[in-house]
Amino acid sequence: MTFGGWLTFILSAGSVTVLFGWCLWRVITSKRGVEDESSEGIDIYEIQNIPKKRK
């Protein structure tokens, strides 16, 4: 494999490993997401015949 080949491989594999590692770290260390104000104003659609979900 040429130097360019190694560079391509290391950049490709390295970037997906870093991305995956960062995501996994955030998932493990973050507290559960909570509904925030940004969701307000969105119509929370309700189907009338599902009483459990009715607000």
Binding site for another protein (CB under 8 A): 1-2, 4-9, 11-13, 15-17, 19-20, 23-24, 26-28, 30, 32-36, 38-39, 41-50, 52-53
Task: Report helix, strand or coil for 27.
Answer: helix
Task: Tell me how far, at minimum, the Cβ of 10 lies from another protein, in Å.
Answer: 9
What does the DSSP assignment read for 4-22? HHHHHHHHHHHHHHHHHHH
Nearest Cα residue to 45 out of 34, 32, 54: 54
